[in-house]
């Protein structure tokens, strides 16, 4: 019984984190929106304590900020913020690609798994449904694709840094995809990355990654 009491608040705070993230990534919460503990607690039917913990975690992840005497707000992320996050990502992922290609870390089975993820992305992009929901699902698959590569690189420090950036990367990609408005291109870009990974062509693989990531700069 004692263990259950210790675990429950953590589970509830995780529920709060996922609930608010979903509202942010589907556009129900906009940048700058005020998020109150009372409303979230009422919507989820829980006490305010785990809501407070969940919001604190979202602040640590860079999705929310606390303004003294005003409350908690969804962080505003402009194109400069997106550019900085993606520039950091390009630097780190380029080094991941170098390790994967130079040390031939991917097997045919790995390539098949990556291709299946891309196929799923294309299906999502071409499927029916609300655009906001499709963007969230597409970007989840996008991160699944790249996380696969981070892990295969064998560089635990790079993987850790990229994972720490995960939520901000996801928010940045949501903003980017909303700006470019072409889910199909976002999905199919990954086929080029796979193509050059298979060929062991590092220069063109880096170019394919960069082209996939920096479409926001054309806005």
- How confident is the model at residue 7, as a pLDDT? 38
In the listed set 28, 58, 74, which residue is the last one of a domain according to the structure? 74
Please check whether residues 57 and 150 belong to one and the same domain. no
138 membership: H or E segment, kind and range = helix 131-153
User: Are 118 and 167 within one domain?
Assistant: yes
pTM score of the predicted model: 0.72
125 & 210 share domain: yes
In DSSP notation, 22-61 reads HHHHTTSS-TT-EE-HHHHHHHHT--HHHHHHHHHHHHHT
**Last residue within a domain, chosen from 74, 107, 123:** 74
88 and 165 housed in the same domain: yes
Residues 68 and 104 in one domain: no
Which residue numbers in the chain have pLDDT < 70? 1-10, 172-181, 214-219
Closest CA to 117 of 150, 148, 143, 145: 145
What stretch of H or E contains 19?
Answer: helix 2-25
* Residue range of the domain that includes 197: 79-218
Same domain, residue pair 59 and 89: no
At 72 the pLDDT is 96
Same domain, 56 and 86: no
CATH number of the domain encompassing residue 142: 1.20.120.530
Residue 56 has a pLDDT of 94
Choose one of 74, 89, 106: the last residue of a domain.
Answer: 74
| 68 shares a domain with 18 | yes
Residues 85 and 48 in one domain: no
pLDDT score for 176 = 60
CATH number at residue 33: 1.10.10.10
At 21-30, the pLDDT tens digits run: 888 877 788 8
pLDDT, mean over the chain:
85
Are 83 and 70 contained in the same domain? Answer: no
Shared domain check, 89 and 20: no
100 contacts 194 by C-beta, under 8 angstroms: no
Domain check: are 36 and 127 in the same one?
no
* Domain count along the chain: 2
Identify any residues that bridge with 74 across adjacent strands, giving them in sequence order: 64
Query: Left (φ > 0), alpha (ψ -120 to 50) or beta: where does 78 sit?
Result: beta
Quote the pLDDT of residue 177: 60
């Amino acid at each position: 019984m004692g263990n259950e009491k210790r675990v429950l608040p953590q589970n509830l705070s995780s529920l709060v984190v996922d609930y608010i993230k979903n509202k942010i990534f589907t556009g129900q919460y906009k940048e700058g929106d005020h998020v109150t503990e009372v409303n979230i607690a009422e919507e989820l039917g829980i006490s305010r304590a785990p809501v407070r913990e969940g919001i604190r975690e979202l602040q640590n992840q860079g999705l929310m900020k606390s303004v003294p005497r005003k409350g908690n707000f969804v962080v505003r992320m402009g194109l400069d913020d997106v550019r900085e996050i993606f520039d950091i990502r390009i630097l780190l992922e380029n080094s991941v690609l170098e390790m994967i290609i130079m040390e031939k870390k991917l097997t045919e089975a790995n390539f098949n798994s990556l291709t299946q993820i891309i196929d799923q992305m294309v299906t999502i992009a071409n499927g029916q449904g609300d655009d906001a929901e499709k963007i969230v699902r597409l970007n989840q698959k996008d991160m699944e694709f790249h996380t696969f590569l981070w892990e295969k690189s064998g560089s635990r420090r790079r993987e850790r840094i990229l994972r720490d950036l995960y939520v901000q990367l996801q928010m940045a990609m949501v903003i980017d995809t909303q700006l470019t408005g072409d889910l199909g291109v976002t999905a199919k870009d990954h086929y080029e990355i796979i193509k050059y990974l298979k060929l062991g062509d590092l220069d063109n693989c880096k170019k394919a990654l960069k082209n996939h990531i920096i479409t926001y700069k054309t806005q």
